Structure 1
Amino acid sequence: MPNMLLSLVNVIVTLWVSWTYGQETTCDPPAIANGVYAPLRTKYRLEDVITYSCDNGLYHSSHGNTTKCTEEGWAPPPRCSLNPCEFPDIKHGVLYAEVLYRSHFPAPLEKWFYYSCDENYLPPTKDYWGHITCTPEGWTPKEPCVRKCVVNNLEHGHSASNGKTYLQGETVEPLCNPGYSHGSPQSMLTCTENGWSSSLSCLKHCDMPLFENATAIITGKAFRPNDTLDYQCLYGYETRDGRTSGTMVCGEDGWSHLPSCFKSAEKCGPPPAVGNGDITSVPLAAYPPGSRVEYQCQAYYELQGPKYVTCSNAKWSEPPKCLDPCVISEEILNENNIQFKTKGDKTHYVKRGDIIQFSCKPGHSAVTSEQSFKAVCGEGTVQFPRCE
């Protein structure tokens, strides 16, 4: 009974392996006349690679001596022949004509193919037309069409080779103006099959700023517009909003702000209140040492004292005062039988130090001196003249 069970398992495994291979793309062993290959297998799976060599005097494919199992079979097709070259395939170009050429007599005739390259590509000679020749090592040149890269006018920079054409593999060093750099971490840019290895342009950058009472999280690189830089305040220091860290943004005009970290114990609270006056900026919850705010008074009130106050050692300097104006009511005018000298003057508020001119109302005469009718506004008070 156990032997029968074991035989049944073997049959199932064999059927499963056979079904699995039937579902996958496989390749039969390649038939390479006059050549040998490795590794040897009865079946090859998709992507399996073999390496082959040819008998003496014969050449393998000019695409190389390896081939891969693909859904279409072995690629590139392996072969061993007397001709080291297959029909040429010009990448980034087209064949133009086939000619026979003899470099000298009695040298044998050689087969040349003339070709031209696509836009932005050139033969290695930089001529419009190129030709390839079959050699024992295959077609030469191996890359008939190579990329060309041009150094154009460099905005925010310059190059000693402006307008020069470079071929694939050649390098150039763009020179950017102060505050600008190109996008590559290397100073030299290389012309590749797809163009310059990095953008040939000079972009605005922000250098690493000098930190006071803070350290940068990342160092040692140039920052592009919209790049951010995180910083950490030193121990015992904080930012304006009471945090111990912050973020700066690199913009077209430089950093959005510089780190502002100050000792927590030396900060000031909101500026002191002033009657009939206020600061000209938006008040903050905390101010670092050295902060300065400006005061202004309401209309007709006069500012007396310092216009600015400064935060130092957690205290604000002495704030200014806003002195009251002189208020002249109709009641006061009627009590003294006087009026404003100028008929259209209806001002009832006068700033300190201003002169107000009065006259008697019609039918009344002055009982105070002539000089009293030119009154000066003191600190909220006026000496009024009188008429009867």
Structure 2
Amino acid sequence: MSGSDTVTCGMKVWSEPPTCIAVERNCGRPPVIQNGAVLNPVQAQYPPGTTLQYRCQNLYIMNGSPVMHCENGLWTKPPTCIAVERICGHPPVIQNGAVLNPVQAHYPPGTKLEYRCQNLYIMNGSPVVRCENGLWTIPPTCIAVERICGHPPVIQNGAVLNPVQAQYPPGTTLQYRCQNLYIMNGSPVVRCENGLWTKPPTCIDACIVRGEDMTRNNIKLRWKDAPYSTYGGLVEFMCRQNYRPHPSSPPFRSYCIDGRRKYPSCI
């Protein structure tokens, strides 16, 4: 029964009668929440349509609606109370971009927000930030298109170590390496600065001392050197047996310069 169980006849009219509500549609005690409680006096049963209000303890902030309703024997979802130190405030502000979601004063842990950049700007980093223990994860940055670098420079006899992409944000560094038997001349690292890559290295022939070159010039190694000499390295030659130096022969002490070596010759 909902209402008074008694009706009274007065002026030929009965007073308002009670209503009888099916027991299975009543709600029981309201849900208990951590660090919070119901403002209203707690009862064993509540008729459909009853509303109750919650509040959180000090140093806790409410997440969700503070009001709960009894509907068909079930309470609607109660709020939760979250410790202030775990709540995130306004999301980070980024230049030339903004949060897609409506901005609020407080966000519970686990909340995710998404950013987007203005026209003529490209996003660097994940577009999504997450509230973790009262702090937002690192937001993206929006970079002007004219400051973006394209494919890194292509060099002969060498390649970029990193995976190649179509676009790179300013400040990106990439590293090069040379093929076997080639020596790097210059810094192996290039950097994206204001839409341009810094000067890449070059890969220079390591000046291999080839047998056919020595045979053609009738020379041989004076000492038992390695199969090839590194960039700038010195190799000494001598004439083969029954040969003498050609009058116009280059020196028999040969350096590798700019990837090339001058061979002496004998007749």
The TM-score normalised by the length of structure 2 is: 0.56
Change (3 A) 1:286 1:251: farther
Q: Which residue does the alignment assign to 2:227?
A: 347
Q: Which residue does the alignment assign to 1:297?
A: 178
Amino acid at match of 1:259: P
Count of aligned pairs between the two proteins: 210
1:356 aligns with 2:232: no
Q: Which residue does the alignment assign to 1:376?
A: 255
Change (3 A) 1:207 1:223: farther
Identity value in percent: 23
Q: Which residue does the alignment assign to 1:33?
A: none
Alpha-carbon contact 2:112-2:128 (below 8 Å) kept: yes
Out of 119, 123, 133, which is 1:235 matched to? 119
Out of 192, 212, 217, which is 1:331 matched to? 212
Matched residues in 2 for 1:247 and 1:268: separation?
24
Matched residues in 1 for 2:19 and 2:92: separation?
64
1:367 aligns with 2:249: no
Matched residues in 1 for 2:226 and 2:21: separation?
104
Change (3 A) 1:256 1:355: farther
Q: Which residue does the alignment assign to 2:152?
A: 271
Q: Which residue does the alignment assign to 1:104?
A: none
Change (3 A) 1:209 1:278: farther
Change (3 A) 1:39 1:317: farther
1:221 aligns with 2:101: no
Equivalent runs, 1:90-129 vs 2, <5 Å = none
Q: 1:377 Cα shift?
A: 0.4
Matched residues in 2 for 1:216 and 1:315: separation?
30
SS of match in other structure, 2:261? coil
Change (3 A) 1:219 1:277: farther
Larger Rg, first or second structure (1 or 2): 1
Q: 1:378 Cα shift?
A: 1.0
Alpha-carbon contact 2:90-2:104 (below 8 Å) kept: no
The TM-score normalised by the length of structure 1 is: 0.41
SS of match in other structure, 1:327? coil
Alpha-carbon contact 1:248-1:255 (below 8 Å) kept: yes
Q: Which residue does the alignment assign to 2:141?
A: 260
Q: Deviations over 1:314-336 (max 9, x none)?
A: 44444443333313211112233
Q: Which residue does the alignment assign to 2:5?
A: 38
- The unaligned stretches of length 5 or more in structure 2 are 8-16, 27-42, 46-54, 63-79
Moved more, 292-301 or 280-289: 292-301
SS of match in other structure, 1:334? helix
Q: 1:262 Cα shift?
A: 1.8
Q: 1:233 Cα shift?
A: 1.0
Matched residues in 1 for 2:231 and 2:20: separation?
104
Change (3 A) 1:386 1:261: same
Amino acid at match of 1:284: Q
Q: 1:230 Cα shift?
A: 0.7
Change (3 A) 1:215 1:337: same
1:212 aligns with 2:212: no
Higher relative contact order (CA 8 A, sep 6+): 2
Please give the root-mean-square deviation of Cα atoms over the aligned residues, in Å. Answer: 4.7
Change (3 A) 1:249 1:366: farther
Equivalent runs, 1:7-86 vs 2, <5 Å = 38-40=5-7, 44-47=20-23
